[in-house]
Amino acid sequence: MAMTNDDAKETDEFQKGVRHLLENGVRKLPSKYVLPLSDRLSVDKEQPTVAKSSLKLPIIDFAELQGPNRSQVLNSLSSACEEYGFFQVVNHGIPIEVIRSMIDVSARFFNLPYEERSKYMSSDMAAPVRYGTSLNQNKDAVFCWRDFLKLVCHPLSDVVSHWPSSPMDF
């Protein structure tokens, strides 16, 4: 089935991100962002706003990495990565002021005009900086209803020059 000009234009608009769609007046969730029924969590008929799930978010206590439970923590970390692909970190030692500052500057980045944010769009999964709406916008059948900014952070001296220059305090 050949892609029409309208289909190509619509796909191009999706690849510009969720914020771009909202800034340009989208009023209905585009089908590109709707999971097939088979991929959705089942919903409890008694409480339709509560998804049924036995998923428990793995929690990794970084403070334990320096103690006698180090091997257990490393096993838990490995298991979380292999089984879930994500986890929550506690006792990481990052001061709350640093976290708040990071959230603030990130929010200001996402509030920049599309033209500024789009400088960091890339289909290169290994790019040191990537802004987008889906992990692989060229292959994903369904996009996530979110925009992201991925920053490679290590070694910082090799990658920080690629990071956004706006907002100024980024």
The letter for the amino acid at 73 is V
DSSP 41: P
Question: 90 Cβ partners below 8 Å, 6+ apart?
Answer: 59, 60, 61, 62, 63
Q: State mean pLDDT over 124-138.
A: 82
pLDDT at 153 over 80: yes
Cβ partners under 8 Å of residue 145, min gap 6 = 18, 29, 33
Residue type, 91: N
Strand-strand pairing, 88-90 and 59-61 = parallel
3 state SS of 57: coil
| Averaged pLDDT for residues 111-119 | 92
Residues 6+ positions from 111 with CB-CB distance below 8 Å:
none
Q: Please give the share of the chain, as a percent, with pLDDT higher than 70.
A: 81
List the domain boundaries for the chain: 113-169
pTM above 0.85, yes or no: no
What letter represents residue 8's amino acid? A
Q: How confident is the model at residue 164 (pLDDT cuts 50, 70, 90)?
A: very high
pLDDT digits (tens, 9 = 90+) for 11-70: 566 677 888 888 888 888 888 888 888 887 766 666 656 655 666 789 999 999 999 999
Pick the residue with more confidence: 31 or 90? 90
